[in-house]
Chains A and B, each alone.
Chain A
Amino acid sequence: MPTVVIPALLRKFTGGIERAEVPGKSIRELVRHLGERFPGIDQQLLEDGDIRPSIAVSIDGEIATGGVLDAVGETSEVHFIPALGGGEV
């Protein structure tokens, strides 16, 4: 099952859990299952049905580019990290 590493500021939704094994073959499925297990966390990651512009997704050590459409492997490690730009203007 893929492993999701929870960002520090979102661990309040997971009761402090840092890593969670979550089923799913895509980022969309992963976030959905994550939200079912830790209510509210999916809303922090999504906006208009896709990953928020301020968040980047790393799959197996590489910044992914497909948002919720990206595929995830059975043993993938997924990190949600601040997007490089980070800025607002």
Chain B
Amino acid sequence: MAASTTTGNFKVIGTRPIRHDGVDKVTGRAKYGADYAFPGMLHGKVLRSPHAHANIKSIKIDKALKLPGVKAIVTSKDLPQAENKLEQAGEMTINPMYLSMNILAHDKVLYDGHAIAAVAATSPHIAEEALRLIEVEYEVLPPVMTVDAATRPGAPILLKDLRNKEEGDKPTNVAQHYQFKRGDVAAGFKAADYIVEREFNTAMVHQGYIEPHNAVGIYNSDGQATIYCSTQGAFDVRSLSAQVLGMPVGRIKVVPAEIGGGFGGKTTIYLEPLSVLLSKKTGAPVKLVMSRSEVLRASGPTSGSKIKVKMGAARDGKLVAAEIWMAYEAGAFPGSPVGAGAMCIIAPYTFENFQIDAYDVVVNRPKTAAYRAPGATNAAFASETVIDELAEKCGIDPLDFRIKNGVKEGAAQVVGPAFKRIGFIQTCEAIKHSEHYKSKLTGKFRGRGVASGFWFNAGMQSSATVNIHTDGTASVVTGSPDIGGSRASMAMITAEVLGLPVTDVRPITADTDSIGHTDVTGGSRVTFATGMAVYEAAKDAERQLIERAAKVWEKKPDEVEFRDGKLYAKGDGVPPMSIKQLAPRFPRTGGPITGRASVNARGVGPGFATTVVDVEVDPDTGKVQVLRCTVAQDAGKAIHPSYVEGQMQGGTAQGIGWALNEEYFYDDKGTLRNSGFLDYRIPTCLDLPMIETVVVEEANPGHPLGVRGVGEVSIVPPVAAVANAIYRAVGVRMTETPMSPPKLLKAMLKRRGATQHSAAAD
């Protein structure tokens, strides 16, 4: 189902062709990172800390090196000193010093699973055996696992160099403070008829991609290195690895393998520099692949958080003030998505008075990485629950309440600038008029909840080339790893511009030596920004086709037109010429045709989504079953609607897992106790209904085809929508994730106790 305001008269865009990489994927021919093998290849394993927080007093590798089959061992001593300085790297800013300390612990381990040393051996088993022979002497320190523990006076300090300007020149665990404010908050609350104030806590969760991190590094004696790996950003792997290894960027080539999920988690590096270091020491290719346990313990989940929200509304439902305090766990090094969370938390609504204070706090957990709309889901859980409560107090339907207060074109964003054309209200209207919302939900312990969400989407740099082959077919080459069907979208954009059947366009993801710089596949940017580069490259090819046809016809280029894949000579009876007819004449008219474009894309169109969920709660166990779920999202223009719907469904499924089951569970020593998919429970198809989708198409004026990013915002509303549905099912407001059976049952029993106590008192 779709509601569209886009007006393009498209032939290919908006259709649903079979993806070009489909055959390779379903026949097992697609090559993932762990599939790469080279003659003489060695296997690497990583020694990881069993302690959450400890000083490393010594590392002895002699015994391990003597084990037959062991070829090399690296520790942080093999890494050059990296700079303590912020640098831009795609969607992230990085501090090379902290990045290096995360790759291999320097003088301190900062979380359970922190890498300490890496071994290369002739087999994975020998490498594993060698890990047991490495002797590490620790001075164990008290772990600091939560925002509260990290900010308590006298809390153990994780990073001796970490200073916060606001706290003076003294060590701290608070890396950063963000603040956004507008208007007069106190006066705003004075005008409120209803005020709701609540505190929320969310657990650290992982992206749960199925394919573990992997890397094969080959260091040649001429100083050139090649890395094969599963990544969302080959160029980022190249630049980050160069920083950590102290190598020039131009001496590293990164070949992106097929990718078995990333969701933001594969936008940084872990194994890649280790594979190069070990290869340099041994002279052989070295492959490292994480186990599931290593992925959960030592890659980058997203932050757990503590959020306090106070909001006020007038009796007529107008929101008048908000005061928000939020702190996110960054993990062992600075850089949680709390800034983004702060900019998202009230983004769908117009507030004349607000103050938001947000804190980035280091704790003894793995360094967080991006996860689908980083920071926004935690934030929306808090704000959308309070919005729901205010709507109830005002006696207004929760969707009408959102529509009444929702942002439209011209409204000021939290950070100040005004929104351009956006589709938030349309997503609310789409849910309001959906068959789902209009249907009646009956039965005991059942409830329906709604929530909305915002995500910025990103632009950044992309490059593309479009090659017209000698038979008139084409290939489109980009540097964006395909994690959500982008090959199909890039081929469709090329086909649309050149008037070709989409099957005549072959999409290719190139390595870092074969295409111009392209930033990470993340921030919902590929169809928007790489799509913009592809559109421009195809247009460049079109201009060249016109010039060639003009040559053939002995006319000027402005006397030739290109329409629907054919070239027409204006004003005479010459029959039109197809690209297929012109292609054999390329050699005589100037040679091959290659369209090129590179962009640093502006005109990003932000995304909004609204979700409705029906749940049933088991009153005896607290288990929640999702009965039905519908999500409406503004896509701008859906290039391939099936893949837009797939993104909406995927984000929603992850949001429901976040809501109901998923959490990092640490014991009191800071050891992760659920580092496998049996105990860290992501939803399966048995846990979810078919997620229904409504694609709203409010064209983005900043893109030639109206495209907005679509990969992230659908994960933002589900946690709050589930919480709001649970409230309507059993009357308890959940303020903590996951809303798992033990937590919900406890809350229900508490409420029952209070109700009975109150009845007895009456």
Asked whether B336 lies within 8 Å of A62 as measured between CB atoms, the reply is no
Asked whether A61 lies within 8 Å of B340 as measured between CB atoms, the reply is no
- The answer to whether residues A85 and B92 also contact, given A53-B86, A58-B417, A79-B417 and a CB cut-off of 8 A, is yes
Closest chain-A Cβ to B420's Cβ sits at a distance in Å of 6
Asked whether B334 lies within 8 Å of A87 as measured between CB atoms, the reply is yes
Q: How many angstroms from the CA of A88 to the CA of B652 in the assembled complex?
A: 28
Partner pick for A89 among B178, B367, B416, B418, CB 8 A cutoff = B367
A68 within 8 A of B: no
A1 within 8 A of B: no
Closest chain-A Cβ to B414's Cβ sits at a distance in Å of 9
Partner pick for A87 among B336, B415, B603, CB 8 A cutoff = B336
Asked whether B93 lies within 8 Å of A87 as measured between CB atoms, the reply is yes
| Across-interface contacts of B181 in A (CB, < 8 A) | 8
Asked whether A89 lies within 8 Å of B177 as measured between CB atoms, the reply is no
- Of A47, A63, A77, the most chain B CB neighbours within 10 A belong to A63
Asked whether A87 lies within 8 Å of B416 as measured between CB atoms, the reply is no
B462 within 8 A of A: no
A82 within 8 A of B: yes
Q: Which partner residue on chain A sits nearest B355 by CB separation?
A: A8
B604 within 8 A of A: yes
| Across-interface contacts of A33 in B (CB, < 8 A) | none
Q: How many angstroms from the CA of A61 to the CA of B458 in the assembled complex?
A: 14
| Across-interface contacts of B523 in A (CB, < 8 A) | 84
Q: How many angstroms from the CA of A84 to the CA of B416 in the assembled complex?
A: 15
CB proximity to B under 8 Å, residues A38-83: 47, 52-54, 58, 60-65, 77, 79, 81-83
Q: Which partner residue on chain A sits nearest B600 by CB separation?
A: A65
Partner pick for B602 among A5, A47, A63, CB 8 A cutoff = A63
B102 within 8 A of A: yes
CB proximity to B under 8 Å, residues A8-43: 8-9
Q: Number of B residues whose C-beta is below 8 Å from A?
A: 50
Partner pick for A82 among B87, B343, B458, CB 8 A cutoff = B343
Asked whether B415 lies within 8 Å of A88 as measured between CB atoms, the reply is no
Asked whether A79 lies within 8 Å of B175 as measured between CB atoms, the reply is no
B333 within 8 A of A: yes
Asked whether B86 lies within 8 Å of A86 as measured between CB atoms, the reply is no
Closest chain-B Cβ to A64's Cβ sits at a distance in Å of 7
Asked whether B416 lies within 8 Å of A79 as measured between CB atoms, the reply is yes
Asked whether A81 lies within 8 Å of B415 as measured between CB atoms, the reply is yes
Asked whether B87 lies within 8 Å of A53 as measured between CB atoms, the reply is yes
Asked whether A88 lies within 8 Å of B333 as measured between CB atoms, the reply is yes
B702 within 8 A of A: yes
Q: How many angstroms from the CA of A58 to the CA of B603 in the assembled complex?
A: 11
Asked whether A88 lies within 8 Å of B335 as measured between CB atoms, the reply is yes
Closest chain-A Cβ to B423's Cβ sits at a distance in Å of 16
Asked whether B93 lies within 8 Å of A54 as measured between CB atoms, the reply is yes
Q: How many angstroms from the CA of A69 to the CA of B333 in the assembled complex?
A: 32
B758 within 8 A of A: no
Q: How many angstroms from the CA of A9 to the CA of B179 in the assembled complex?
A: 6
Asked whether A88 lies within 8 Å of B93 as measured between CB atoms, the reply is yes
Closest chain-A Cβ to B422's Cβ sits at a distance in Å of 11
CB proximity to A under 8 Å, residues B76-99: 86-95, 98-99
Asked whether A88 lies within 8 Å of B98 as measured between CB atoms, the reply is yes
| Across-interface contacts of B178 in A (CB, < 8 A) | 9, 82
Q: How many angstroms from the CA of A7 to the CA of B367 in the assembled complex?
A: 28
Asked whether A89 lies within 8 Å of B94 as measured between CB atoms, the reply is yes
Q: Which partner residue on chain A sits nearest B418 by CB separation?
A: A61
CB proximity to A under 8 Å, residues B602-617: 602-604
For the complex of A and B, list the 3 residue pairs with the smallest distance between their C-beta atoms, beginning with the closest: A87-B335, A88-B335, A86-B339
